Structure 1
Amino acid sequence: MKHSLLTLALAIIAFLSPALSSAKNAAANPKPFTAPELRQWKGGVGVLTLPQSPVIVYSDTALAPIAEAFATQYKALTGTTPDTRLGKTSQGDIYLSLKADKHLGAEGYRLQIGKKVEISAPQKEGVIWATQTLLQLLRQSSQLPVGTAIDMPDYPVRGFMIDAGRKYIPLDYLYKLVDDMAYYKMNRLHVHLNDNGFKYYFDDNWDKTQAAFRMECERFPGLTARDGSYGKDEYRAFQKYAASRGVDIVSEIDVPAHCLALTRYMPQTASADGRNDRDHLDLDSPATYRMLDTLLDEYLGGANPVFTSPRFHIGTDEYQGDSLTMEKFRAFTDRYIKSVKKYGKKPLIWGSLTHAKGHTPVESEGVEMYLWSNDYAKPLDMIGLGYEVVSIPDGWVYIVPKAGYYYDYLNNRKLYDEWTPANINGVKVEERHPQLKGGMFAVWNDHPGNGITVRDIHHRVMHSLPVLATKTWNGADVSLSYDDFEKAAPSLGEAPGVNYLARFGNTPATVLELAEVASGSTLPLEEIGYDYTVEFDIEGAAENKGTVLFQTPEATLWLSDPITGNMGYSREGYLNSFRFNILPNERHHVRIQGTNRTVSLYVDGRLVDDMNERWVSYNGGKNKMAQVRTLIFPLRNAGHFRSKVSNLKVSNHITDR
């Protein structure tokens, strides 16, 4: 009997030995791809597949809003709705908890994947970022790699600035932008609320020059821009939403330059020194200070301030003048730094104090300075003066769409390989210097009226957001080559629930086919973004001018446009007419191809028109502006037309024919 048991035991051991040896020797899971890159990863063996409807459990009621927001994003990504609850966790759950850990800092977190997903962080911000990491992993695969991530940023400020002064940026887009930024752990969105165009594009006439102040204003009725603005209550709600996503909305009223909207409203505030134009405030006029004091009180004052962030940006860039004027400018800057502090806000300013050198003291304690130009503010000097600084160097991170200067699209390879926030236009600061708070990039809409749409801006932002997110979180500590990063990044896409690029799939494919498009019908696809091919057969009929072929709230493809009767398209108030119309009883195969540069119309295989960039001259040819005629192709709603449209095919790439 003992012999038989011994034989059986040896047999079992012999049977199990290969499996045990295999488990012991199995390779640990490599660090998964995310943007930003995970700071530390200890790989385990195997994968975790979450239940079809997992439960999100949180340890503290303070985490309930984060759990609910995560559940919404999880549903947008997977199509299933997780339950959320306070309490104890079980196998297959996603567990969120607050746990002290001095090594993780304010935004760090621990993410452990085993029989369940466990997220812990000292503060709520870390929990938010961990949920975004988890969403990025799930975007790539439903099988989560077993292992433990410990992650924290190099810099507390990781941001983006958008110029809403020269071009109105709708609030519904800013919500989408916040979601995309949070998905990549970017935590500051700076909204530049007032500015003006260059007068040489407006007949050299300040009265004709574009200018806008984008906030609802009760104390100066009529100051608010007519072509788009933000109501106070909706702006408060937007800031609250962004804060729940871990994103701080920094609002800027830019003074004393870039102020045509203010001086047009109150002419006695306009510069009269003979050196500066009407877009500069008069630093000697009492009216200037009365107006600005009133404005600041309207937005920063009271029990329910309009600007809810603990920070407020007062501008202070590019004011020109002689040495006496610069002393006045310095006094002006110091005055409004102190004024902002009286409202309990941290003052933020553009770096200008090298350009505006002088003897008048400008307060530095508790002041954050954006370092954008070394000619205007030398980085090491500003740090020496005691300013906290944010790296936003114009030679690296300024996007000015189709302006012909700075960048139309940022140079991602150069940024990834050579830049961190410690590189300020070539001046190197110590990495993680205590006064260096982080880095940002920016879109400046210098050329109002150039045809650039919000979609075009978003295309440029998303082109670089993963790279800038990585470099402001990881600094110089990245392990992937740029080629490997560039190859992997498209797999992450936009935040769950956001597809403002209107992209479908990462490989060339046909994304929609319909045998017939009936008049007045609703299509299953909203739109298609760059690059795309849309083609169909059409049998013409008599159509009235203004006949729609396809339409969404943002764009219209005209079968017969309202002006010429030709095929064409419109978006954001711009009408572009093709040099082609479809006559009754004609039969054609139409193909329209769009990129971020052009829209091309082919009829029966022949290129008929190409809506590429064109240049418009001003002031007798002394000044030129590029005009862009791109189109995110609208699909959702077919118009009411008499023609017969069939064999619709929509592809997410440029086809060969």
Structure 2
Amino acid sequence: MRCRPRRLACLLSLFVSLLALTLAVPVAPATAESAAVNARPTVVPALQKWQGGTGSFELRRHSRIVLFGRPGDGLRDQVAALPGELDQAAGRKLALSTRSAQDGDIVLAVDPTSTGAGGGAGFKKEGYTFTVTDRNVRITAPTAKGVYYGTRTLLQILLQDDGRDSVPVGTAVDWPNYKVRGLSLDVGRRFFTADFIRDYVHLMGWFKLNELQLHLNDNGFKGDGSWSDVQAGFRLKSDNPELAGLASKDGAYDRRDWDSFEDTAAVNGVTIIPEIDAPAHSLAFTRFRPSLGLNNGDSDHLDLSKPETTTFMKSVFDEFVPWFRSPDVHFGADEYTVDKPRYKTYFNEMAAHIRALGKHPRAWGSLSVMASDTDGYDRDVTLNSWNNQWYGPHAAKRDGYSFINTNDALLYIVPFANYYHGRGLDGKYLYDEWEPNVFPGGQSVEPQDPQLLGAMSAVWNDLTEASYGELDVHGLVEPTFGVLAQKMWSGASSGVPYDSFLGTVRRLGVGTGLTKVATTLATPANSELSLGRPATASEGKAGAAFDGVGTTKWESGPGDDAWLRVDLGRPETVSKVELDWAPAYGRDYAIQVSGNGTGWTMVAARTDRTSAGSDTLTFDPVTARHIRVVGTEAARKQDGYALWSMRVFDAPDLALHRPTTASSSEVPSLGPENATDGDGRTRWASAYRDDEWIQVDLGRAQTVRRVLLDWETASAADYDIQVSDDAEHWTTAATARGKPSGARVDELTFAPVTARYVRMQGVKRTSPFGYSLWRFEARTTSP
């Protein structure tokens, strides 16, 4: 502790501390037996095995990343980005070293002889041992990729720690259940920028997913129009004059782009699986060479009766396979609905040709439709089992194929369509019911069946004329990315309910190293007012403290005097501010509020703070539009201040997690509890009648003077807010009449009433549907 003459409080604190030391009675130190054993750290996907110890490892100012490797093991290249990732996730700048490990170091080692009990082949290729003592963190794996996955576990633990500098003592042994854990992305029908592809490779590594299949050509549907009006795309651009004009003009990847994908994939534990799809889905090829298409090119099917068609497709693979570093190349071969005998010949010739180019062939499973029997088809091809009728897992097993679960009914997303999960996959179903061995229609196979390599979700951009972009697709994919990773890596072993798991995914966000993609899962905590609101600061990127992203932070730059403020957009009741300090924390600071942004009133202050991490400051509710933290002394003047987040809160929501009932629910999954669960993505929906209600039991009589209703499009035109002491006799506290149709947020304030029960009593709907609420909140204060 340090004191300055002007600080009477500090001197008094020092005196009290000395007195306490004088009077203290010696106490025996806690033993390992009496200390609590550390629970398994919460990461996504969950660790396979954990043996908890006691205590924790703490990062020190002198901590380093120490590499123990052998020449050619790839360790240095695999973890070269880790110092920057640690800085982004934990605010700690650690150097790489190959010297002897010291206390406080993170030690990374490749040891081909290391074994993981129960991990089998999965451990040998991608597993790792994660050993933590109070002196070091040690990650050891048979391969550099395994070490990399261990560093994802380390980063996730630190990101969730208060202070982001502590790891619980214990030992984990971790490995994947399945070899293939992937995503297939249709870039043929909608171009995705190179920045997006690289970011998605980073995101996959963050959750230990390991295959990104790029569907490089495809086209829209003809419908009642003409093929000449249908969009078609081929996304590789070569300098070969014989292929000039094949690449799409609205976007294609050249060799430099592709090399950047491969380089990024290599250091993030990901393999790029390139897919060039023919003889169906081939409008890009029939436009380039009309003579090779059915009906003289007026088709998206190639004409396999012409030998030059197969010769041309072989030349395409000849041109681009040298770009590809993956051991596998996908040649499509799905949904070709004509000329079955020649399809078989094409299938076998292309599989053999890809092997001749040094790669293992993959294809979409279509043989149940394309063949009366599958005798004579090349068996040395890995198949995506995408539809039970076209070629289900039982048929693939019978015929001896290795296969990947890409089942359309469970794992397909067609963005914004009214089929194939147009609004995203069903995360709760996947989490509670699904595993990679699960197929619909009684087609499931045994877990870890030797022919089942794993699973892969898929995005298909069927709606080629729709106006959406790559970030919109990300918004559909991200909510279930962590769920799929969990099920593909360690299955049902997470040990927590879906809501808790999703909360962890939200905290983890999209990881480190991204430039274009950000998390879409940042949602305000209960009563949080500041998420995403406009912010300013004396210096630095103020918005980083209010974006809900765990890996961005506001930094003031050197000096003791700095401020950061947020504009809530209107006067709000404010009763609490939470600050999450990075290592450049504030020692002395105050919370101030203002109605107009010019005159400020202090409502809370902190002095002599001694560490990074979370600080919650509560105060009597005040009405304010602008809130700021004002620093007067930094922990280190040369560092200034840095905040991962600043969150401003309303008075508590009395209805949160309280028992909630309703007159009806449209379906069981849209029950009344969804309106008070604190999750803005779940909702209650009633039967299609006017006289419907939803009510919440506050547990005891409490003063209520404000209710918030967050309506889905099925909203109320007229309704009453009623209160009761016994849930039988009701008094109207507020009325709403003539409200507009559609989604909206209603906030009703009224004279204070004391009651145990609060309900919304519907009078008239705005639509033929019932009433539907995302949120039903009640508070004791109002602006």
Range of TM-score over shorter length: 0.7 to 0.9
* Equivalent residue, structure 2, for 1:79: 91
Deviation at 1:53, TM superposition (A): 5.4
Q: 3-state DSSP class of the match of 1:423?
A: coil
* Equivalent residue, structure 2, for 1:412: 427
**CA distance in 2 between partners of 1:310 and 1:595 (Å):** 51
Q: Relative to structure 1, is the Cα distance of residues 215 and 535 closer, same or farther in structure 2, using a 3 angstrom cutoff?
A: farther
Contact residue 502 and residue 529 of structure 1 kept, 8 A? no
Superimposed CA distance per residue, residues 78-120 of structure 1 (whole angstroms, 9 cap, x where no aligned partner): 2332100113211110101112134332111100111110000
Q: Relative to structure 1, is the Cα distance of residues 360 and 433 closer, same or farther in structure 2, using a 3 angstrom cutoff?
A: closer
Deviation at 1:180, TM superposition (A): 0.7
- Aligned partner of 1:346 among 338, 360, 363: 360
Matched, 1:195 2:209: no
Superimposed CA distance per residue, residues 356-409 of structure 1 (whole angstroms, 9 cap, x where no aligned partner): 123574544432100010100021221222211111111111011111001021
Q: Relative to structure 1, is the Cα distance of residues 427 and 359 closer, same or farther in structure 2, using a 3 angstrom cutoff?
A: closer
- Aligned partner of 1:216 among 221, 224, 237: 237
Contact residue 184 and residue 213 of structure 2 kept, 8 A? yes
* Equivalent residue, structure 1, for 2:464: 448
- Aligned partner of 1:286 among 292, 302, 307: 307
Q: List runs of 5+ in structure 2 lacking aligned partners.
A: 1-24, 117-122, 550-565, 572-709, 714-737, 745-781
**CA distance in 1 between partners of 2:209 and 2:711 (Å):** 28
**TM-score (structure 2 length as normaliser):** 0.62
Deviation at 1:430, TM superposition (A): 1.3
Q: Relative to structure 1, is the Cα distance of residues 436 and 381 closer, same or farther in structure 2, using a 3 angstrom cutoff?
A: same
Counterpart amino acid of residue 481 in structure 1: P
Matched, 1:206 2:234: no
Matched, 1:147 2:161: no
Superimposed CA distance per residue, residues 535-577 of structure 1 (whole angstroms, 9 cap, x where no aligned partner): 599xxxxxxxxxxxxxxxxxxxxxxxxxxxxxxxxxxxxxxxx
- Aligned partner of 2:518 among 500, 503, 525: 500
Matched, 1:310 2:327: yes
Q: Relative to structure 1, is the Cα distance of residues 118 and 252 closer, same or farther in structure 2, using a 3 angstrom cutoff?
A: same
Counterpart amino acid of residue 431 in structure 2: Y
Superimposed CA distance per residue, residues 175-226 of structure 1 (whole angstroms, 9 cap, x where no aligned partner): 11111100100000000000011123xx712111110101003231111101
Counterpart amino acid of residue 100 in structure 2: K
Matches within 5 A, 1:625-640: none
Contact residue 216 and residue 274 of structure 2 kept, 8 A? yes
* Equivalent residue, structure 2, for 1:438: 454
Deviation at 1:479, TM superposition (A): 2.3
**CA distance in 1 between partners of 2:329 and 2:311 (Å):** 19
- Aligned partner of 1:113 among 118, 132, 152: 132
Q: 3-state DSSP class of the match of 1:133?
A: helix
Q: CA RMSD in A?
A: 3.3
**TM-score (structure 1 length as normaliser):** 0.74
Q: Relative to structure 1, is the Cα distance of residues 117 and 225 closer, same or farther in structure 2, using a 3 angstrom cutoff?
A: same
**CA distance in 2 between partners of 1:209 and 1:222 (Å):** 17
Counterpart amino acid of residue 223 in structure 1: L
The structure whose Rg is larger is 2
Matched, 1:158 2:175: no
Superimposed CA distance per residue, residues 318-340 of structure 1 (whole angstroms, 9 cap, x where no aligned partner): 1113xxx1121111111100110
**CA distance in 2 between partners of 1:101 and 1:516 (Å):** 52
Identity among equivalent pairs (%): 33
Deviation at 1:54, TM superposition (A): 2.5
Contact residue 292 and residue 302 of structure 2 kept, 8 A? yes
Contact residue 75 and residue 81 of structure 1 kept, 8 A? yes
- Aligned partner of 1:398 among 412, 417, 420: 412
Q: 3-state DSSP class of the match of 1:58?
A: strand
Superimposed CA distance per residue, residues 591-619 of structure 1 (whole angstroms, 9 cap, x where no aligned partner): xxx9999xxxxxxxx9999999xxxxxxx
Contact residue 268 and residue 287 of structure 1 kept, 8 A? no
* Equivalent residue, structure 2, for 1:370: 384
Q: Relative to structure 1, is the Cα distance of residues 137 and 269 closer, same or farther in structure 2, using a 3 angstrom cutoff?
A: same
Q: Relative to structure 1, is the Cα distance of residues 69 and 506 closer, same or farther in structure 2, using a 3 angstrom cutoff?
A: farther
* Equivalent residue, structure 1, for 2:148: 128
Q: Which has the higher contact order (CA 8 A, sep 6+)?
A: 1
Q: Relative to structure 1, is the Cα distance of residues 527 and 171 closer, same or farther in structure 2, using a 3 angstrom cutoff?
A: farther
Deviation at 1:529, TM superposition (A): 7.8
Contact residue 385 and residue 393 of structure 2 kept, 8 A? yes
Stretch of structure 1 that moved more, 187-196 or 25-34? 25-34
**CA distance in 2 between partners of 1:399 and 1:490 (Å):** 21
Superimposed CA distance per residue, residues 242-279 of structure 1 (whole angstroms, 9 cap, x where no aligned partner): 11211000010011111111101111111249xx9601
**CA distance in 2 between partners of 1:361 and 1:242 (Å):** 37
How many residues end up aligned between the 2 structures?
521
**CA distance in 1 between partners of 2:373 and 2:248 (Å):** 38
Counterpart amino acid of residue 187 in structure 1: N
Contact residue 120 and residue 127 of structure 1 kept, 8 A? yes
Matches within 5 A, 1:593-612: none
* Equivalent residue, structure 1, for 2:349: 335
Matched, 1:27 2:36: yes
Deviation at 1:298, TM superposition (A): 0.3
* Equivalent residue, structure 1, for 2:105: 93
Matches within 5 A, 1:43-54: 43-52=52-61, 54=63
Q: List runs of 5+ in structure 1 lacking aligned partners.
A: 1-14, 538-593, 598-605, 613-655
Deviation at 1:492, TM superposition (A): 1.3
Superimposed CA distance per residue, residues 497-532 of structure 1 (whole angstroms, 9 cap, x where no aligned partner): 335236767633425776999xxx997548998999
Stretch of structure 1 that moved more, 22-31 or 494-503? 494-503
Q: 3-state DSSP class of the match of 1:97?
A: strand
Deviation at 1:56, TM superposition (A): 0.5
Counterpart amino acid of residue 457 in structure 2: F
